Amino acid sequence: MRPSQRAADMLRPVTLETGVNRYAEGSCLVSFGHTKVLVTASLEESVPPFLRGRGQGWVTAEYGMLPRSTHTRGRREAAQGKQSGRTQEIQRLIGRSLRAVTDMKALGERQISLDCDVIQADGGTRTASITGAWVALRLATRYLMDEGVIAADPILDQVAAVSCGVFQDVPVLDLDYDEDSSAEADANFVLTGNGDIVEIQATGEKRGFTRAEFETLFDLARKGMDELFALQRAAVGG
């Protein structure tokens, strides 16, 4: 039995609460069990220099963990004067994931920035961030269409993410910290609503894992993703 008493193919309780920031064009407080991430989507009427004059927009992300999001207080990266390699890698992953399902031409020359702030971490903060960021982005683009800022819907598909791993030689879905910290192997899956793969990050932590184990992990991810996509649709009203 897993430490959380869940079946191998069971997600943690997942909630996607919208409208939690009155100022942002889109916002979502996403919870995967005890992991909680606040995501806000902000419109900027400009694009990075490399896109100026090309008639298309950009979607980018920033990620950070609040000082007491873990068991001990961590220093703010701003106080240290630089971001860690982990932070940079995660925020690039979030940005790539959202751009994979966004029509940049439909945005015009404007940028949507997704800020993902981890309030509490219990494993899977990057996958929770991606799942919640799509909700915030969907709400922001719908606002832009309602206000007549853009004419066409730039959202091409849903995108969500979930972790899977081999824990005590059993493939399981949605690792919490207790499992993630001692798993033999773990993987993060980022998939679209149509079933396309955006990214898979898979690592043998304590041993290599077999192709059969990987395929089981992939099947678990697809099952979990179906539930996440349904929760996303409910959160944004279809």
Q: What is the pLDDT of residues 171-203, one digit of tens each?
A: 999 999 999 999 999 999 999 999 999 999 999
Low-confidence ranges of the chain (pLDDT < 50): none
Helix, strand, coil % over all residues of the chain, rounded to 5: 35, 30, 35
Q: Are 121 and 64 in contact (CB under 8 A)?
A: no
The residues pairing with 40 across neighbouring beta strands, listed in sequence order, are 27, 115
Residues 6+ apart with CB under 8 A from 78: none
**pLDDT at site 1:** 77
Token readout for 37 is 């991430």
